[in-house]
């Protein structure tokens, strides 16, 4: 049997990092990952709350052995034979770290938004200040957008994979087949009304994600300004004005449901829409297409790596509503990162995710 792949995770203390740790631990081709933290996260190997082990932060890991957190050291990564580093770090940290990781000869899957956006006008929303602008620009061109259903061949050879955003994944997978078929009236505009559980906002508490603000509530945020809007437009080849994306915060822990409204440029039947979706995602393991008028629900995709797609077509055969559901921590983050790893190393994309 071939030696198992050695991986490391920087940022395992977040929700996506925890899910990534769990998946890699059970992956048949991967050794238990080395868990890392930046020196700035705490002195003497401690996290900000003084914990030395991940199970002290996430007690649900208790009883499965120890999960020590190590301070990032290139020498130690080389000594242990690590070949792939997952960055589950804030956008700014990933932007600064990735060039150095690549220089060390490691392959990288970055779960942040640091390397997703090719166009400067979209990337400006992050306000990155690159220490070496030329180096960052070169790496930006080399980075592969890690949506396997669209970019599997490029992912295989990638040194740096930019894992897609959770909202963006739900919207892109819903629209890509119809845009590819050229049946959407782009000038009429597309509207995505997307709702996410609170874990999508990250682990650090804020006034907006506090229990008192979230419970028994539903709120819209970042209207016309969300970071995933540029990501959606770039990947689908849309003009910014052709896409209206409004995210909402649901009073639940996890999951995304995107309801997408569009107009077709010709009359189509429900059977034609369904055939378009099924043909586009034939042999794609992690997209499930529902029959016409049968819509997915959040509970169907939670705790899985599936993106579920359904639709309803109006009587005029031109107005179409798409519904896309996924787990924001799995297909929207950690699960998709492992799916990308499987492609990078030539394995079945379902490995470790079933």
* Region label for 68, one of left (φ > 0), alpha (ψ between -120 and 50) or beta (otherwise): beta
Catalytic residue check, 276: no
3-state SS of the chain? CCCCECEEEECCCCHHHHHHHHHHHHCCCECCCEEEECHHHCHHHCCCCCCCEHHHHCHHHCCCCCCEEEECCHHHHHHCCCCEEEECCCHHHHHHHHHHHHHCCCEEEECCCCCCCCCHHHHHHHCCCCCCHHHHHHHHHHCEECCHHHHHHHHHCCCEEECCCHHHHHHHHHHHHHHHHCCECHHHCEEEEEEECHHHHCCCCCCCCCHHHHCCCCEECCCCCCHHHHHHHHHHCCCHHHEEEEEEECCCCCCEEEEEEEEECCCCCHHHHHHHHHHHCCCCCCEEECCCCCCCCHHHHCCCCCEEEEEEECCCCCEEEEEEEECCCCCCCHHHHHHHHHHHCCCCCCCCCC
Of the candidates 4, 25, 13, the residue with the CA atom closest to the CA atom of residue 69: 13
Residues 6+ apart with CB under 8 A from 77: 8, 34, 85, 104, 106
Catalytic, out of 154, 166, 276, 317? 166
Of the candidates 172, 149, 167, 174, the residue with the CA atom closest to the CA atom of residue 290: 174
Contact predicate 344/177, CB 8 Å: no
**What gap in Å lies between CA 330 and CA 306, rounded to an integer?**
8
Catalytically active residues, by annotation? 166
């Amino acid at each position: 049997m071939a030696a198992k792949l050695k991986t490391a995770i920087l940022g395992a203390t977040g929700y996506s990092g925890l899910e990534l740790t769990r998946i890699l631990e059970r992956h048949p081709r991967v050794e238990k990952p080395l868990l890392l933290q930046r020196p700035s996260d705490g002195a003497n190997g401690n996290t900000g709350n003084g914990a030395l082990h991940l199970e002290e932060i996430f007690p649900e890991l208790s009883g499965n052995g120890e999960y020590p957190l190590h301070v990032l050291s290139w020498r130690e990564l080389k000594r242990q034979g690590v070949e792939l580093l997952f960055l589950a770090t804030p956008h700014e940290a990933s932007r600064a770290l990735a060039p150095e990781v690549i220089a060390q000869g490691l392959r990288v899957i970055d779960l942040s938004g640091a390397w997703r956006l090719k166009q400067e006008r979209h990337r400006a929303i992050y306000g990155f200040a690159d220490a070496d602008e030329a180096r960052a620009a070169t790496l930006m061109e080399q980075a592969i957008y890690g949506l396997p259903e669209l970019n599997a061949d490029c992912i295989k050879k990638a040194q740096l994979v930019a894992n897609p955003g959770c909202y963006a994944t739900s919207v892109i997978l819903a629209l890509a087949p119809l845009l590819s078929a050229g049946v959407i009236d782009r000038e009429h505009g597309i509207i995505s009304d997307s709702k996410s559980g609170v874990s999508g906002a990250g682990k650090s508490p804020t006034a907006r994600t506090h229990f008192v603000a979230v419970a028994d509530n539903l709120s819209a945020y970042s209207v016309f300004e969300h970071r995933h809007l540029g990501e959606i437009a770039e990947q689908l080849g849309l003009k910014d004005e052709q896409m209206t994306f409004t995210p909402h915060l649901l009073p639940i822990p996890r999951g995304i449901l995107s309801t997408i409204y569009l107009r077709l440029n010709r009359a189509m039947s429900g059977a034609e829409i369904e055939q378009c979706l099924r043909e586009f995602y034939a042999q794609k393991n992690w997209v499930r297409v529902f029959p016409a008028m049968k819509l997915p629900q959040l509970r169907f995709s939670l705790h899985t790596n599936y993106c579920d797609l359904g639709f309803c077509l109006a009587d005029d055969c031109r107005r179409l509503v798409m519904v896309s559901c996924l787990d924001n921590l799995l297909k929207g983050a950690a699960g998709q990162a492992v799916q990308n790893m499987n492609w990078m190393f030539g394995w079945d994309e379902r490995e470790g995710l079933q």
